[in-house]
């Protein structure tokens, strides 16, 4: 078997696709929005308070004809449903949803003294709103016609992709952050349940589980010499990830090259958690 010399490389094209990214104004979300635009997708992303950063990102990604920021609190089921409705209202359809938003209370909180308000608040943002998002997004995708299978046989006909962002804390737990670990562990279980239910209907659901990533949310820990040494000591690569290193696997899971990937937990953690 012989192959002709490649000229343009392998394309991770998302041309003609519409993608919703939650928590897209900063960190992993912003890196994902940028990479999705480079792949040709039109993108709607949500933000809660970082309006200046959101508008700067829209401008950097080509303007509102191809990229739109939506201000939306995400703390309840109804919030998630409202965001999906807003996203569909922008570009008229929805092909992929990347559920990236979440909170991680940075202070250590023993379970014996954790307040019910903290527990409910974390699960409201990290889990309840995700249910609303996924429920509404799946309903939209099921109502859309399937995209024809690629002629080169690299994908089956599909209706859409759901990518949830979990965490290594979901897999090994995290002392003094039981609320966060429990909420992210639920996303892994949700991924598997959605895969079993939705793959036969042409919707692929997968999960990306990052470890420590250099973002605003982790800045306090990674800038503290003691806490940083403890965190990075668990990573064989010896450093945190950059947001773009998480965005790459996320975008891959939205493309035709992931057309036979469903229910997978994609670990991107520098070797800190080994499962399989």
DSSP one-letter string for 127-142: IIHHHHHHHHHHHHHH
Token code pair at residue 16: 């003609």
Q: For position 22, which CATH number holds?
A: 3.40.50.720
Catalytic option among 25, 47, 183, 184: 184
Task: List pLDDT tens digits, range 13-67.
Answer: 899 999 999 999 999 999 999 999 999 999 999 999 999 999 999 999 999 999 9
Highest mean pLDDT: which of 4-18, 138-152, 177-191? 177-191
* 96-125 mean pLDDT: 95
Q: Is residue 154 part of a domain?
A: no
Residue 275 lies in a domain: no
State the residue range of the domain holding 190: 18-148+159-268
Position 69 in a domain = yes
Residue of 46, 129, 180, 262 marked catalytic = 180
What is the spatial distance between Cα 47 and Cα 215, in angstroms, rounded to a whole number?
Answer: 15
3-state secondary structure of 178: helix
Q: Reply yes or no on whether the pLDDT at 152 is more than 60.
A: no
| Residue 213 is assigned to a structural domain of this protein | yes
Residue 200 belongs to a domain: yes
pTM greater than the 0.75 cutoff: yes
Return the SS3 of 249: helix
For the question of residue 229 being annotated catalytic, the response is no
Read off the pLDDT of residues 129-150 as tens digits, 9 standing for 90 and up.
999 999 999 999 999 877 665 5
- In total, the chain counts a number of residues equal to 276
Query: Is 218 among the catalytic positions?
Result: no
- Residue 251 pLDDT greater than 60, yes or no: yes
Count of domains observed in the chain: 1
Catalytic residue among 167, 195, 218, 262: 167
The CB density around residue 114, as the number of other CB atoms within 10 Å, is 16
Instruction: Establish if 12 belongs to a structural domain.
Output: no
Residue 239 placed within a domain: yes
Nearest CA among 107, 94, 75 for reference residue 21: 94
Nearest-angstrom CA–CA distance, 218 and 225: 13
Q: How many Cα atoms sit within 13 Å of 106 on the Cβ side?
A: 11
Q: Is residue 51 part of a domain?
A: yes
Q: How far apart are CA 112 and CA 218, in angstroms?
A: 24
Q: Is 196 a catalytic residue?
A: no
CA angle 41, 244, 276 (to 5 degrees): 100
């Amino acid at each position: 078997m012989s192959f002709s010399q490649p000229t343009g490389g392998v394309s991770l094209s998302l041309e003609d696709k519409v993608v919703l990214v939650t928590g897209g104004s900063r960190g992993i979300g912003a890196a994902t929005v940028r990479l999705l635009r480079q792949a040709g997708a039109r993108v709607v992303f949500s933000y809660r308070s970082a309006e200046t950063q959101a508008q700067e990102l829209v401008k950097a990604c080509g303007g509102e004809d191809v990229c739109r920021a939506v201000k939306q609190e995400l703390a309840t089921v109804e919030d998630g449903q409202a965001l999906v409705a807003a996203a569909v209202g922008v570009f008229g359809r929805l092909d992929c949803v990347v559920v990236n938003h979440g909170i991680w209370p940075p202070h250590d909180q023993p379970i014996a003294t954790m307040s019910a308000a903290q527990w409910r608040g974390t699960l409201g943002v990290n889990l309840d709103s995700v249910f609303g998002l996924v429920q509404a997004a799946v309903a939209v995708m099921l109502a859309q016609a399937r995209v024809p299978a690629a002629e080169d046989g690299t994908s089956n006909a599909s209706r859409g992709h759901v990518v949830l962002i979990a965490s290594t804390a979901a897999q090994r737990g995290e002392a003094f952050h039981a609320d966060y670990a429990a909420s992210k562990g639920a996303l892994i279980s949700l991924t598997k349940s959605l895969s079993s239910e939705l793959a036969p209907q042409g919707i692929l659901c997968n999960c990306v589980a990052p470890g420590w990533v250099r973002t605003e949310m982790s800045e306090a820990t990674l800038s503290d010499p003691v806490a940083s040494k403890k965190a990075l000591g668990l990573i064989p690569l010896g450093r945190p990830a950059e947001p773009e290193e998480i965005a790459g696997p996320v975008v891959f899971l939205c493309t035709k090259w992931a057309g036979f990937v469903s229910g997978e937990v994609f670990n991107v953690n520098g070797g800190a958690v080994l499962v399989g």
